[in-house]
Structure 1
């Protein structure tokens, strides 16, 4: 971290938070791993984690309001993490890589005819990440959509879906893919562009039921995985179905306008490794450090990054049996680029040394749920079980929450975050972790378990500028946050109870496996060849990011 940057923080009265003295654990007794687990869990406090959130907010405030990879706020965040980890005694490395930086700096979406309608960004529609720059004005043409329940859809997945009538028009496609197949949003839009479409709309699939599968009905956020040449947006099932019905009954004219940036930029992962422990038995914990370009990312993912940083600092003097490696990933919001790059560039011999990977992405959502990744697929929904050993990781987390008298929800292994490259086909590293929810709406059943506001998102500021320590000042719904504060104690856009509880769960799990991985079965070739989860390039992040 540069001296000039530190001086700026001092001027903002935050240097004491950023670089102030921190306490570290005294060496744990090697004869009692249970004592070490309890000791570390006690030493990881809400105050310790929160000071890193204050640091991240200060960095964002001095960096254009964000901490996005490819921008100064991310580099400063990485400097902060690396400096503290190195000071604590870890071996710290910075792994550089390049990625495609995409950002939309402005947009509009409206129906010109037959019913003039102006849609609201991030309420009625969202620009698909890496959409093309420009304006598309034309007739809407439905492409192989299916509005009949169960609404199985491969809309736009094959070039043959597009007839000559698409040329010069706006293609409207439905989310979905054939069972076992990979068909990302990017492929749909690329096929539409190749067929001559001037713009694209992708609407949610509408499969399942709104109550059981709200993520398949509402507005979703997504990325195309790489630049395309036409503007493209996503909308909810309801909005999309209405446009399709109107287009099938007559002529619908829409206009999509996107101001977008798409270019190659450089960033880094930050890796901190303990100086003792068995180098052939590595326990990894990771969180993505980057935010979206228009937000400080205090919950997403300041919370996960801050928690594992504090765990690392407090664990620094614990002489663990196994080597512990902490990772702060870059460019997760650009489709898991940092973690994918890391795994892809590890020689097989080094992959084999990683006993397990723990992932923490959004662990303090204001309207939270206590999600634990469903390692054994006991919920029987969505993606299948994780690689062998994932169930044993889940059991450690479940045991922790049971000891606190807290209910948990099964978080599906969809590849939504940086565990994706670790569990992917051909890798097969067991994984687990925690997730308190993003854009999905909280249900009355959720409220019965964890309180909160039904009908509101788990994180009402997900990917919005209000994901900060001052959410209302940055555009949050003031009445909703008044409701949340009447029930919970919030630190900006963070639920302090969820954050504190999950930070303790992280400390418990990391310490447990740092001393004993005997519960994790040895990996076999069959485990490494797991094919239930698609390769990293086809994963999605935070709610249907790629497909």
Structure 2
């Protein structure tokens, strides 16, 4: 069981603010005796552009040194060890000493760069949940695929509830889908059309004591209810295969009783995003890029997303050697592993004026397995997203490297920016996915193996880093920053006409199936 702790560090308590008014914290306000290990690699004092060296992509890429990246990874591993007393293993999950130390470390490293950057702490409430025990019985059966949804409330009084299993015929996405009398019943609902959270809340408002959502495709169903609602009820997911005989019997008029039991908690803790923006460069035209600072509870997350955290930090450090024409804004998001909470909070709280200043957002994650580009097109995403895809394609081609594509499915921090009309792109390298025969032929490795065999596990430690791919992608990050920090020539402007088009595209596009790692619909 995760132990939730109050935030006591400067990074957590410096501000409780919206993205509309991010407080600027002076470097001399930072604690003189930090609680985390201190990076001992090269550091650079800011000249704030006074050396007259204009940003150049070749030079910035050449500044990326794998030895610096590895040294930072070793420090991050030590920071993850701060959580040993709480979790009995290293982790940087939000609310842990390991995550608080990570936030402090990022802040400290940027603060050392002097006045090249202004640093903002954005605190926000993050929802976390734990399911301690669950059981579902239908008739005389115990469905083996039954699993409690993430962020589900427990059953009433954390006791078993007994009721008639009632089939919801039309998907459960509106009040009219439910039978007239659901009081005390357990609702059986088909997956599809709307989110699991909507289905659970609608069942709760109809009077049901629990809900069972069955898959509409092969395999089990594990997902999240998302943002808590007072109408949510204890909710399970089960496979289509196990649900099929119950659906058939209910459709034939057979009565079925069920027992549902979930012992779960849903809690809220404060955590913190860190934003660093160059003091130089046009503040009306900002290049923005981000990665997440947290890990899952199961392990230290040195690859996911420690490698991305460090890549951004190293690029931000090396950038201080150069003058920029457009402002560059780096972000380290908290609570990505809890459902993209930090990036979504930031994007949703941007005022219209501040939203327009973000010309583009680039999402950068961990390194392993293969080179993937988000297959962004201007036809389906905010205009400019396609230009980012082309930038990555051209760079990989220039390096003589193979690449493949990955769809925008809502699994990473670009989602919140796409939702508010900001052109977005990024690169990925696979996670728990399985390498195909074709990918093995292109990238090497063994077909049928996971891209990252330590994804979300305790073994995601310093030995889980693919140094070659990490260095390559950090140089690509440097390239993307250098190109747009120098000029937005050729990149679509965010005009009212383009904004209207992007909004219409968003209305016609289906909701993301994922919110971070969890299915939401």
Q: TM-score range by the shorter chain?
A: 0.7 to 0.9
Assess, with a 3 A threshold, how the Cα gap between structure 1 residues 357 and 203 changes in structure 2: closer, same or farther. same
Aligned to 1:305: 309
Aligned to 2:100: 75
Q: Which residues of structure 1 form unaligned runs of 5+?
A: 10-14, 146-153, 178-182, 211-216, 378-383, 470-490
Aligned to 1:519: 490
Displacement of 1:22 after TM fit?
2.1
Question: Out of 498, 506, 516, which is 1:542 matched to?
Answer: 516
1:115-130 equivalences in 2 (<5 Å): 115-116=141-142, 119=144, 124=145, 127-130=148-151
Aligned to 1:373: 374
Q: Distance in 1 between matches of 2:403 and 2:139?
A: 47
1:268-287 equivalences in 2 (<5 Å): 268-287=272-291
Aligned to 1:381: none
1:83-482 equivalences in 2 (<5 Å): 83-89=108-114, 90-111=116-137, 113-116=139-142, 119=144, 124=145, 127-133=148-154, 134-138=158-162, 141=165, 143-144=167-168, 155-164=171-180, 166-177=182-193, 183-206=194-217, 219-227=221-229, 229-241=232-244, 244=247, 256-361=260-365, 363-365=366-368, 368-376=369-377, 385-424=380-419, 427-462=420-455, 464-466=456-458, 468-469=460-461
Cα deviation 1:274-330 (Å, max 9, x = unaligned): 232222221111112223344433333223222111211122222122211101112
Cα deviation 1:452-486 (Å, max 9, x = unaligned): 44445444454x443631xxxxxxxxxxxxxxxxx
Assess, with a 3 A threshold, how the Cα gap between structure 1 residues 188 and 136 changes in structure 2: closer, same or farther. farther
* Contact 1:202–1:240, Cα closer than 8 Å, also in 2: no
Assess, with a 3 A threshold, how the Cα gap between structure 1 residues 240 and 545 changes in structure 2: closer, same or farther. same
TM-score by length of 1: 0.76
CA root-mean-square deviation: 3.4
Aligned to 2:17: none
* Contact 1:357–1:422, Cα closer than 8 Å, also in 2: yes
* Contact 1:204–1:220, Cα closer than 8 Å, also in 2: no
Displacement of 1:59 after TM fit?
2.2
* Contact 1:373–1:433, Cα closer than 8 Å, also in 2: yes
Q: Distance in 1 between matches of 2:484 and 2:234?
A: 47
Assess, with a 3 A threshold, how the Cα gap between structure 1 residues 245 and 287 changes in structure 2: closer, same or farther. farther
Assess, with a 3 A threshold, how the Cα gap between structure 1 residues 100 and 281 changes in structure 2: closer, same or farther. closer
* Contact 2:165–2:257, Cα closer than 8 Å, also in 1: no
Q: Distance in 2 between matches of 1:528 and 1:237?
A: 41
Aligned to 2:13: none
Larger-Rg structure: 2
Assess, with a 3 A threshold, how the Cα gap between structure 1 residues 43 and 111 changes in structure 2: closer, same or farther. farther
Assess, with a 3 A threshold, how the Cα gap between structure 1 residues 468 and 544 changes in structure 2: closer, same or farther. closer
The farther-off stretch of 385-394 and 498-507 is: 498-507
Displacement of 1:403 after TM fit?
2.3
Assess, with a 3 A threshold, how the Cα gap between structure 1 residues 276 and 135 changes in structure 2: closer, same or farther. same
Displacement of 1:137 after TM fit?
5.0
* Contact 1:286–1:308, Cα closer than 8 Å, also in 2: yes
Q: Distance in 2 between matches of 1:125 and 1:51?
A: 44
Q: Distance in 1 between matches of 2:221 and 2:212?
A: 12
Displacement of 1:331 after TM fit?
2.6
Q: Distance in 1 between matches of 2:449 and 2:99?
A: 29
Assess, with a 3 A threshold, how the Cα gap between structure 1 residues 62 and 502 changes in structure 2: closer, same or farther. same
* Contact 2:201–2:229, Cα closer than 8 Å, also in 1: no
Q: Distance in 2 between matches of 1:251 and 1:499?
A: 57
* Contact 1:100–1:262, Cα closer than 8 Å, also in 2: no
Q: Distance in 2 between matches of 1:501 and 1:82?
A: 25
Cα deviation 1:63-96 (Å, max 9, x = unaligned): 2343233443322211110100111234343333
**Does the residue aligned with 1:333 lie in a helix, a strand or coil?**
coil
Assess, with a 3 A threshold, how the Cα gap between structure 1 residues 372 and 428 changes in structure 2: closer, same or farther. same
Displacement of 1:343 after TM fit?
2.7
The farther-off stretch of 245-254 and 439-448 is: 245-254
**Does the residue aligned with 1:375 lie in a helix, a strand or coil?**
coil
Q: Distance in 2 between matches of 1:101 and 1:71?
A: 14
Q: Which residues of structure 2 form unaligned runs of 5+?
A: 1-29
Q: Distance in 2 between matches of 1:140 and 1:257?
A: 14
Assess, with a 3 A threshold, how the Cα gap between structure 1 residues 422 and 30 changes in structure 2: closer, same or farther. farther
The farther-off stretch of 24-33 and 104-113 is: 24-33
Displacement of 1:352 after TM fit?
2.0
**Does the residue aligned with 2:303 lie in a helix, a strand or coil?**
helix
Displacement of 1:130 after TM fit?
1.5
Q: Distance in 2 between matches of 1:246 and 1:310?
A: 60
Displacement of 1:157 after TM fit?
1.1
